[in-house]
Amino acid sequence: MKTFDFIAIILAVIFFHYLSVSAAEPDSTGTISGQMFKRGGEYYHAFLSVAELYSDNIYNTHTDKESDSITRITPGLWVMVPGGKERLPETATASVTPGGVVLGSMGSESFRRLKAYAFYSPEFEIFANNTDQNTQSHHAEGSLEYHLVGGLSLGILEQYRNSHDARGSGITSITTELDKYMTNLLRLFASYDVSSRIRMEVNYADFYVDYDADRNAFRNRNDTTLSGAFFYRLFSKTSVFGEYEYLKIQYDQDNDLDGDEKHIFGGVRWRATGKSGGMIKGGWGIKSYDQAGFDQEKTLIFQAQVDHHFTNKTGVVMSASRRTNESNLSTSNYSIAENMRIAYFQKIRDKITATLGAAYTRDSYNEDFRIDNISRAREDELYDITAGLSYAFRKWLTAGMEYRYSQRDSNFSAFSYTTNEILFKLSGSL
């Protein structure tokens, strides 16, 4: 099924659900009220943000830095049943991640019978001087969950992305060409509450990666994921679990890299309404290849996510992970990716919010990389620091500014860089 076919189905479910509710509860005139299409309605929401970004190193290069100003225009639309004022969290995916999904779900608190959601947003980047870099990206996502009587729940999610890798992360150290790609994730999931304490979950997912340029053709692949988890509820909002995940990875061209990964996890997941939520799981990943002569690789893997509100004005979001990634270098089979992120927010006044964030990523490639007569396994470390302020003129209109410092340290100096960015943004929503 094509992505936009599925999102059309989600929109149809939402629309007919709305009609049924409106027919059951007509307004004082006895007609449908049309609340779905009013500003701030519960079902339909539109937004638009316009940002101006200045970067002193738009290509993220070690030398010959190029500065420029970039205008980003991001409109969007989302609809949801049951209605609400907050968008669902985005499913974080990456083209290099086996199976696509960067971090697993922390679980849902929803006990409603039906939940349907559809989202679409393009983004347009317009460069003041380097107009050949002008580009547009697209993100569409839809999900449908249905909770049956007796503890059985069924769901489907699909996400489509048409985007590009961060500049400077490609094969060469200095390039002005974007590495554009399309990804599509289809996920089917089911859960069953065996008892008040025992819950079982199963998932099937299909993830497809397709890069535009021939130089990236070696990265095109299709991943299939099967997983199952067993949860035991210790307390009302806290469960321990065991999880097994199997991934089949198949490349379009380089069939030597076809193989599979097996992940075995144990962990804990909690959700304290309005206060704290999180998931921590760790275990082993085993990577094997179909081609004879390739060694099996076994490595420690883990994921951790914490979202905690100290007060209604102060909170922190943290995540950390260690996993294998499919390589973006033709000379390596895979990399070990280690990542840590933390973001702190503080509401200074009713209309003013400050944010501070930091991130660290280390990518260690398994095979030697050669440049300038030097050959060794490549390792990159990326540091990211952000600080921002936002001001809410109205509930539907917000202005903000942000400073970002990025630094990559590579054991090949040609891939090291530092970049400073300043962003000003105006956002409105209905």
Write out residues in the chain with pLDDT < 70, as ranges: 1-41, 105-112, 170-175, 273-274
Count of domains forming the chain: 1
pLDDT tens by residue, 28-65: 444 434 444 444 447 789 999 999 999 999 999 988 89
pLDDT tens by residue, 370-415: 777 778 889 999 999 999 999 999 989 999 999 999 999 999 888 8
Collapsing DSSP to helix, strand or coil, 115 comes out as strand
CA distance 330 to 367: 10
Residue with token string 């199952």: 228
pTM: 0.86
CA distance 188 to 211: 25
pLDDT tens by residue, 98-118: 999 987 765 554 556 888 999
Residue with token string 């943004």: 425
The helix (run of H) or strand (run of E) holding residue 357 is strand 352-371
Q: Specify the CATH number for the domain of residue 181.
A: 2.40.160
* Residues in CB range of 286: below 8 A, 6 or more apart: 261, 262, 263, 296, 297, 298
Which domain does 66 fall in, by range? Answer: 3-429
